Amino acid sequence: FALHGILIAIDEDKDNEVIGMIIAELRIDPFGASEGYIKQVFLKEGYRGQGIGELLVKKAIEHLQKIKVEKIKVNIKEKAKEAANLYAKMHFKKVYEVLELDISKENLED
């Protein structure tokens, strides 16, 4: 990590195979306040439920704290129940909802 970056999880027993990663960054909001943002967390399916995702998020939080971030945000899809449970366990709170309109040609109705 620096102001933004990637942390990778590997399986040392499988020739250092990459099994997961987290992307986090520092953002400055329009009012000048700094905030952390977790862009993505990914774990290979066979490694989920073992605490690895939680460890990646904790490492990202530690890094963002070191660079004096006051708040950390993450967007998750509504169907991502495992992710929602992980972040709730780590004291993230729902503060707003995002609505999306798909205006691609094939999705427009008359």
pLDDT tens string 48-107? 999 999 999 999 999 999 888 889 999 999 899 989 999 999 999 999 988 999 998 776
Domain ranges of the chain: 4-107
Within the chain, strands assigned E span 4-11, 17-28, 34-43, 71-74
Q: Give the strands of the sheet with 34-43, arranged side by side.
A: 4-11, 17-28, 34-43, 71-74
pLDDT surpasses 70 at 109:
no
What's the rounded Cα separation, in Å, for the pair 25 and 33? 14
Sequence-ordered alpha helix ranges (H) in the chain = 52-66, 81-89
CA 76 – CA 37 distance, rounded (Å):
12
Contacts of 95 (CB under 8 A, 6+ apart): none
Any idea which fold 4-107 has? Aminopeptidase (3.40.630)
pTM of the model: 0.82
